[in-house]
Structures are given as C-alpha cells and as structure tokens.
Amino acid sequence: MTGRFELTDAEWQILQPLLPPDPPRGGRWHDHRTIISGILFRERTGVPWRDLPERFGNWKTVYGRKRRWAIDGTWARIAEALRTDADTDEGPDWTAGVDSSVVRAHQHAAGARHAPAADHPKPSRRHGTTPTAAKPSDVPAAA
C-alpha cells in the first residue's frame, strides 16, 4: 500500500524504465521510487526541504537527486517520454498544464507600482526635485 503522495505500482511501472541507471563510480543510489515519492511530496505540499518526512530518506539526498536530474536534463527526458502518447488529439504541441492556484508570489510583488503615474512629473536629475518646483531664488525672503 502506498501513502497519499507516493507513487502507485501502476505509476512506478511506467516511470521505472525512464530513470537513469546507478552511476558508474561510487556507491549505489538510494531507491529511485522512494526518492521520487519524496520529491513529489515536497512539490505537492510545498513544505521546506528540511521538513520532508523521514520515510523518504534524508532531505539532502532527495534534494540532491532532484537538482542533479534537473541540471542533467533527466526530468525533461522523463516529461517528454510521458507526453508521447498522453493526448494524441492535441498533436505534438501538447504540454502539461499548471494550476495557478498553487503559484505563490513574493510578498513584495503585491500591488506595488513599478513606474510613476502618467500625470506625475519626472524628478530632476540635478536636485531630485520636480521641474515645476520653485527655485530658492524665486521664493521671497522672509522679513
């Protein structure tokens, strides 16, 4: 029996032949199925890497495998292979969709203006004042 965010046996049968073999040097990798389940858990829940449950192994191992496969193109090859017969009606341009309800913007991205309003005068480069501001010589001296 698999957990809520873990690969099912049917999913694993499809995915297993697409994964790279153990590296030629060094020791054997930890079980691909456990590591991929950990990656999927983290991506679906959004937990920090350090909070990854222990059943997926050391968080550094899971993160390292995800990063290594992203750099060497393994994830892109897997996605392309899974897309091959996914939706033949859509043709070769079919791509996976992303649910925007889980995309989070940074707190500073909310509602800030990136350019001054169109009716706001531009500041002068020399003094940092607006061109319509009065110069000190134009202001009457206080008596």
- The rounded distance, in Å, linking the Cα atoms of 143 and 137 is 15
- Whether residue 105 lies inside any domain: the answer is no
Contact (Cβ atoms closer than 8 angstroms) between residue 65 and residue 34 = no
Q: Closest Cα partner for 41 from 24, 28, 54?
A: 54
- Whether residue 68 lies inside any domain: the answer is yes
pLDDT tens across 81-125, in order?
Answer: 887 766 666 666 666 666 656 556 666 666 666 666 666 666 666
Residue 14 pLDDT grade (very low, low, confident, very high; cuts 50, 70, 90): confident
Outline where DSSP puts E strands in 5-139.
none
Question: Torsion over CA of 43, 49, 55 and 58, rounded to 10 degrees?
Answer: 130
- Whether residue 71 lies inside any domain: the answer is yes
**Amino acid identity of 1?**
M
Domains identified in the chain, total number: 1
pLDDT tens across 129-139, in order?
Answer: 555 555 555 55
- Whether residue 77 lies inside any domain: the answer is yes
Outline where DSSP puts E strands in the chain.
none
